[in-house]
Structure 1
Amino acid sequence: MRFNVTIDRDEDGVWIVECPSIPGCVSQGETKEKALENIHDAIAACLQVRAERGLPLTIETHQVEVMA
């Protein structure tokens, strides 16, 4: 499966990666590469927990265009 993730840095310079289609699925790393590596494990763990609890594996996400 392929998932879109968001990547950002916090105020301390730590890279934060989140998978918007899996509620609560977040990871981090000291480098962008490490954070992206860590999100793989987080996604697998989140999917396993959601399956065990009988929850939908993912939620629907959409892109919208906003004029700013």
Structure 2
Amino acid sequence: MQIKLTAVFQKVPEGYIGFVEELPGANTQGDTLEEARSNLEEAVQLVLDADRELKE
């Protein structure tokens, strides 16, 4: 199953922050946009895995 989520990135003095609108708790930061994107992918997977475990 594939789902589409909305990733939002914002430039801040420290680099970039990112979050997913539809998934509370999925947020991150990075020195570069690429790092923030990579970190957000990992954060999303961790949130989904934790949610799945809690529901089992």
Unaligned runs of 5+ in 2: none
Q: TM-score, normalised by structure 1?
A: 0.69
In structure 1, the residue matched to 2:16 is 15
Q: Shift of residue 38 of structure 1?
A: 1.0
Q: Which amino acid aligns with 2:28?
A: S
Higher Cα Rg, which structure: 1
Q: How many residues align?
A: 53
The runs of at least 4 consecutive aligned structure 1 residues that moved more than 3 Å come to: none
Q: Indicate the structure with greater strand content.
A: 2
Overall identity of the aligned pairs, in %: 23
Q: TM-score, normalised by structure 2?
A: 0.81
Q: Indicate the structure with greater helix content.
A: 2
